[in-house]
Amino acid sequence: LITSTARQSQDAWGGTGNWEEIEGAWVLRPNKGNLSAVVHFVGGIFVGAAPQLTYRLFLERLSERGYLVIATPFASGFDHLRIADEVQFKFDRSLRFLQDNVLDLPTFGIGHSLGTVIHLLIGARYAVQRNGNIFMSFNNKEASSAIPLFSPVIVPMAQSFGPILSQLTSSPTIRRG
């Protein structure tokens, strides 16, 4: 369902429609020309569960400029170390799958919001070979300080919404489309 929804939304909104799910990550290869670099993208909390949809326009523009995009989805939560491990594991597996196409290409990490924190943790925990990182909307404050109405509104909503997203993205029925 999610895969077919992604394809339909790409068609309806003028997207390239070339997203592939490879080893748990969403991969977008440039349509034409030589590959210039690999981009490992990690999105923000909640929207990071479906980066091929929520960041589609941004990531497709990168692909149009010759970047191979590997967007690693994750279930939202506050165990950032676990998320960093999961995200890096998906990236490594998909990169291994694509190794013939990406050998010797520079690799850049791009993170938005929580994705920035995840990239920082990945860099601290693993010997990743990055030519650079791009951090957008980085925030290292506690959520209760950084997000207005965090405790009374966001926490209860996240507690009920998080498991639903996690179940949707991990369901074998939905993954097969």
Q: Indicate the pLDDT class of residue 165, thresholds 50, 70 and 90.
A: low
Tens digit of each residue's pLDDT (9 = 90 or more) over 84-93: 999 999 999 9
Tens digit of each residue's pLDDT (9 = 90 or more) over 65-82: 999 999 999 998 889 999
Among 108, 105, 141, 127, CA closest to 42:
108
Residue 40 parent element (H or E): strand 37-42
Q: Indicate the pLDDT class of residue 1, thresholds 50, 70 and 90.
A: very low
User: Contact 16/61 with Cβ under 8 angstroms?
Assistant: no
SS3 14: coil
For residue 137, what are the domain limits? Answer: 2-176
Long-range contacts, 142-148 (Cβ 8 Å, 24+): 143/78
Total structural domains within the chain: 1
Task: Give me the CATH number covering residue 103.
Answer: 3.40.50
CA 114/CA 159 separation, integer angstroms = 17
pTM above 0.85, yes or no: no
